[in-house]
Amino acid sequence: MSPDEFVITIISLILAALAWWRLYSPLVHHRNAGRGGSERRLLGLAPLLCAAALLTVLLAWASSDVRNNPIYLIFYTVFGAAVVGALMFLTPLLGLSIRDDAIERCNVAAAYAASGIMLGLTGCYAGANIGDGPGWWVVLFCAMLSSAGFLVLWAIVEGAGHIAETITIERDEGAGLRFGLFAVAVGAILGRSVAGDWVSAQDTLVDFGGFMWPAAALAVIEVIAARSMRRGESGPAGDAGASGVSGEAGGSALPGLAVGLLYIAGALIYLGWLGLWT
């Protein structure tokens, strides 16, 4: 490793440790530790899924000097943990907090959404590792570009569809599932939009603009879904928001799950048509 890569590794280790501890220490220490269950298990599993997905991408599609070098595999995994962990601290700005909404309030809908966001941001970072490039700064540039696109599309969905209120106040598990799967699909598309061998920043921006349009289309569809599938303030969702008990029962989450799976299917079809990571 070069001196700058060694320094970045140390910084990434520190940032990753601080970020993920801040995010996940409430799973053990929050005041409602005796309540809930499914949201805690889901949030505990999500980072492991993110790490597995990232390692799969690195081993399959990263440059040969990364794929064949355990040190660089560790480096880019730790780097990714720092990047994704830091980005997760921006989620409260868009109305969703892992600590407050998913853990403290034992909100399964928020846990679904947060887990999907985590996987989506991991997809943004993973795609930045695809192909040959001159160094870690290229990965950072591409990851920030795709992640910025992710956050902008989320902000559009939030502004037009008020999805955070549906998930955090109405505790609509169908909406949480749908939005979580939307985040995964968008992250995969945006990650693909920055994948490939590095040529220049300008070429990367052109490719990103040319390949990311299905993610924007999904955002429009999610706005329509968020507005049309939202339940009223009275009835089950409103009662759940007042009592603090999840009001989404069994089958009522199925429409949201079905739409979310359509998002995933659409993303996979697009990636398959485009060429998964080539």
pLDDT digits (tens, 9 = 90+) for 96-128: 998 889 888 889 999 999 999 999 999 999 999
> Rounded to two decimals, what is the model's pTM?
0.90
**Contact by Cβ (8 Å): 98, 43:** yes
Instruction: Write the pLDDT tens digit of every residue in 34-77.
Output: 455 788 889 989 999 999 999 999 999 999 899 999 999 999 99
Mean pLDDT of 216-244: 69
Burial of 70 (0-12, 13-18, 19+ CB in 10 A): exposed
Tell me the CA end-to-end span of the chain in Å, nearest whole number.
27
CA 58, CA 81: separation in Å to the nearest integer?
A: 14
pLDDT of residue 236: 41
Phi, psi of 142 (to 5 degrees): -65, -40
pLDDT of residue 90: 93
**Contact by Cβ (8 Å): 193, 146:** yes
Mean pLDDT of 24-34: 65
Domain count, the chain: 1
pLDDT of residue 275: 77
Does the structure show a pLDDT above 50 at 215? yes
Give the least confident one: 19-28, 158-167, 184-193, 205-214: 19-28
Give the least confident one: 103-117, 171-185, 203-217, 236-250: 236-250
Share of the chain above pLDDT 70, in %: 88
Does the structure show a pLDDT above 70 at 246? no
Residues listed for the chain: 278
Does the structure show a pLDDT above 90 at 185? yes
pLDDT of residue 36: 55
For residues 163, 164, 166, 169, the Cα torsion angle rounded to the nearest 10 degrees is -170
Containing structural domain, residue 100 = 3-274
More confident call, 133 vs 230 = 133
Across all residues in the chain, what is the average pLDDT?
88
Does the structure show a pLDDT above 80 at 195? yes
Give the least confident one: 16-25, 146-155, 187-196, 236-245: 236-245
* Cα separations in angstroms, 108 against 20, 29, 246: 20, 18, 7
Mean pLDDT of 169-185: 96
Phi, psi of 267 (to 5 degrees): -65, -45
